[in-house]
Chains A and B, each alone.
Chain A
Amino acid sequence: MSKWETDWSIPQRQDGPALLIIIFKTIIEILKGFWPIAIAILFTGKSNRASRIQLFIIVFFGLVLIRSLIEFFFFRFQIINNELIIRKGFLTKRTVTLPLERIIAVHIEQSWLHRVFNAAQVSFDSAGTEKTEAVIKAIPLKKAKSLRQFITETQPEGIAEKDQAPAFQEEPIITLSGKDLFKLCISANHIEGLFLLLAFVISVVDNISEATGNETTGVLSWLYERIDISSLSGVLFLFILFVLISMLVSAIRVLLRYSNFKIIRSEKGFSIRSGLIDAKEKLISFRKIQYLSWKATWLRKKMGIYLLRFHVAGTSKIKERMEIKMPATQQRFITEILKDYHDRLPINDLTPVRIQKLYIIREIMIDGVLLSICLFSIFWFIISQKAFLFFLIIPYVALSSWLYQRKFRLWAIPEAFQVQKGIFGSEEVIMIWTKIQSIQLGQSIYQRRRKLATLKLFTAGGIITIPFIKEQEAMDVFNYALYKTESGNKNWM
């Protein structure tokens, strides 16, 4: 026998405690989903209906537990030819094959239940495992460590450690001045701020009413007595009041979020720091950036402010944490950030790919006319003649699709491509070809007749959709993207 205590080529089972852990987790999940019914059963007297529900719950519990047992007994894992193979399932049998070369990390975790039995859960990280359950729920802790060591030492370069915090220069490359913050305050989404304030006030009033048992409408009554809302001046006064309050709220939000904002560049990535009271820092490694986009509403575009966004690779939890929208109040900010990814394309020297005008007709027919008719038909029985208002969707869809078609451009060079789009505002995206993970070309019956197609480019940071372009152009992009992805020597991350 080799130095390994376990021969991993022989199919292994989960440990006995895994069954208890599966049962325990199943019970928790059921309780989480059906607690109202559970409470109804506990607090209602015995009646015919309650007995039926009780019977249903018992049967349901029984079936789920049986399922857990089956899943436990039909789970095997082994390592053959440098591949981790996991076989599981009874009704639907699944075989997951994970090459050891693709494993980025092996995690060993112990809940309190695992610790009781000296067991551990082992999970395997690769770029695609979030979508697959490559998890061994419970094996003895010693065995888990042995497995991790085996996998680590089998890889030629070893498993990479988590990205270490890069060493940072002292000088930031981007900071926001007072003038920049002022521009952000003016151009913020005041309506959103107003709704947030209203929601906060209503919830506070509600809580106070509940706590005191009194109706807390004193302020509202006071206002109502003093402002004549039937007159123009009254309405105007209220309107101005709401605008001022919403602007104040937006300004406070912007200051709290973007005060002390700075970006510092290191050899391996960016550090982004901001916050007035709660200072936050986010680290982005260059290699994780899949593509970059920057967008602006109509007002912000006039003021030269864009929101720059990093689309990074990682699990959805990582993406949520790393969701970074950076205010670019000067064009040089965008240029500075793009230096480490890819410069903007020389779009004046390139011929763009454009969305065809038939896109507008399609949008009007499907999202405009069809949707309006459906909503009208449903709501006619509820709100009668007011249901005709739904037909206002048609001119809105016509306008927005016309603007979208008019603005959309795709430019490409051998290394990267750039997309410009938007309806009332604008958005630009820049992406290196080798970041593509897979490509999809779609054609509806209508598109096939008109020799049009829609392309979707999937990356680890998001999807880029290019709708309603000429079929030949779509095929050219499709073929070239595949060629660049497959022939490039550069790793995508």
Chain B
Amino acid sequence: MDFINAQVDPGSIPEAKFINWQPIEKDYLKVLRLEWALTSFVLLLIVVTLLFFIIPFRDTILVILLISGWLLIVSLYFLIQERSFQLRAYAIREHDIFYRHGWIVQRIHACPVNRIQHCSADAGPLERKFKLSSLTLFTAGTSGADLRISGLRAEIAENIRDFIMNKIKTDEQMGN
């Protein structure tokens, strides 16, 4: 086979900034808020348990500290969750998949389709209530390399999964 080393015009390389982002479903915010409420309640139970059962914790200063700590944690959790939800989005291109998330630290994670080994669609009880699903794309990379998109409509998650599986098969057939 002849060796070919064609020149690549940097301007012709597809740029990630020209991506048409798809926001995740708004109903997913309800799921997140329910999870926030549940977590806050559990934390409150822990605080109340500590105050009720452990006598040294009944000092006025400690009570104020514990309650203030709880209020601070649940408020920050809520604020960060609300802000970061606005930024959550995904994009599917012919050869790769993108997911954007985070507020304090915003992250864009890109996974080439030809690196996807398999995928998994999960739906917890809250997600099922709103007909939502989370799609995880597994690669051969180490921890953190996999891409997880939460808050998709169940049928869209299936469509994306089918698209990826078909692409994998086509690439395998073409010997890519």
Q: Does B17 contact A (CB under 8 A)?
A: yes
Q: Does B26 contact A (CB under 8 A)?
A: no
Cα of A480 to Cα of B8 in the assembled complex, Å: 11
Chain B residue numbers with a CB within 8 Å of A82 are 169
With known contacts A438-B112, A438-B145, A486-B95, A127–B117 Cβ distance under 8 A: yes
Stretch from B44-52, B56-64, B67-75, B99-107 at the A interface: B99-107
Q: Does A332 contact B (CB under 8 A)?
A: no
Chain A 84-109, CB-CB to B under 8 Å as 1, else 0, gives 00000101111111110110000000
Chain B residue numbers with a CB within 8 Å of A459 are 141-142, 145
Tally of contacts, chain A with chain B, CB under 8 A: 158
Q: Does A17 contact B (CB under 8 A)?
A: no
Nearest opposing residue in chain B for A447, CB measure: B105
Of the candidates B13, B102, B106, B119, the one whose C-beta lies within 8 Å of that of A479 is B13
With known contacts A91-B124, A479-B15, A483-B13, A443–B118 Cβ distance under 8 A: no
Cα of A424 to Cα of B80 in the assembled complex, Å: 38
How many whole Å from A318's CB to the nearest CB in chain B? Answer: 12
Q: Does A439 contact B (CB under 8 A)?
A: yes
Report A423-456 residues with CB < 8 Å from chain B CB: 436-445, 448, 456
How many whole Å from B110's CB to the nearest CB in chain A? Answer: 5
Cα of A114 to Cα of B161 in the assembled complex, Å: 34
Nearest opposing residue in chain B for A82, CB measure: B169
Q: Does A229 contact B (CB under 8 A)?
A: no
Q: Does B111 contact A (CB under 8 A)?
A: yes
Of the candidates B17, B107, B113, the one whose C-beta lies within 8 Å of that of A442 is B107
How many whole Å from A238's CB to the nearest CB in chain B? Answer: 44
Cα of A405 to Cα of B109 in the assembled complex, Å: 25
With known contacts A94-B122, A438-B145, A439-B109, A131–B172 Cβ distance under 8 A: no
Main secondary structure of the interface of A (DSSP, over half): mixed
Q: Assess the B104–A482 pair: CB atoms within 8 A.
A: no
Q: Assess the B161–A97 pair: CB atoms within 8 A.
A: yes
Cα of A444 to Cα of B105 in the assembled complex, Å: 4
Q: Does A128 contact B (CB under 8 A)?
A: yes
With known contacts A444-B105, A448-B106, A479-B16, A92–B122 Cβ distance under 8 A: yes
Q: Assess the A95–B8 pair: CB atoms within 8 A.
A: no
Nearest opposing residue in chain B for A489, CB measure: B176
Cα of A459 to Cα of B111 in the assembled complex, Å: 11
Q: Does A272 contact B (CB under 8 A)?
A: no
With known contacts A97-B161, A102-B118, A460–B110 Cβ distance under 8 A: no
Cα of A93 to Cα of B120 in the assembled complex, Å: 10
How many whole Å from A104's CB to the nearest CB in chain B? Answer: 10
Q: Assess the B16–A478 pair: CB atoms within 8 A.
A: yes
Q: Does B121 contact A (CB under 8 A)?
A: yes
Chain B 133-176, CB-CB to A under 8 Å as 1, else 0, gives 00000111110111100000000000001000100110010001
Of the candidates B17, B125, B139, the one whose C-beta lies within 8 Å of that of A92 is B125
With known contacts A91-B125, A95-B120, A126-B117, A438–B106 Cβ distance under 8 A: no
Report A314-328 residues with CB < 8 Å from chain B CB: none
Of the candidates A94, A460, A461, the one whose C-beta lies within 8 Å of that of B121 is A94
Chain B residue numbers with a CB within 8 Å of A81 are 165
With known contacts A442-B107, A479-B16, A93–B123 Cβ distance under 8 A: yes
Residues of B within 8 A of A (CB): 8, 10, 13-17, 95-96, 102, 104-115, 117-125, 128, 138-142, 144-147, 161, 165, 168-169, 172, 176
Question: Can you pick out 10 interface pairs between chain A and chain B where the beta carbons lie within 8 Å of each other?
Answer: A92-B123, A93-B123, A93-B128, A96-B120, A97-B119, A129-B117, A129-B118, A440-B144, A479-B14, A480-B13
Residues of A within 8 A of B (CB): 81-83, 89, 91-99, 101-102, 126-129, 131-132, 134, 313, 414, 436-445, 448, 456, 458-463, 475-476, 478-480, 482-483, 485-486, 489, 492-493
A-B complex: 5 closest residue pairs judged by Cβ atoms:
A127-B140, A437-B141, A458-B145, A128-B117, A128-B138
Please give 8 more A-B residue pairs, beta carbons under 8 A apart, in addition to A440-B109, A479-B15.
A94-B120, A99-B172, A126-B118, A128-B146, A441-B107, A463-B142, A483-B8, A486-B95
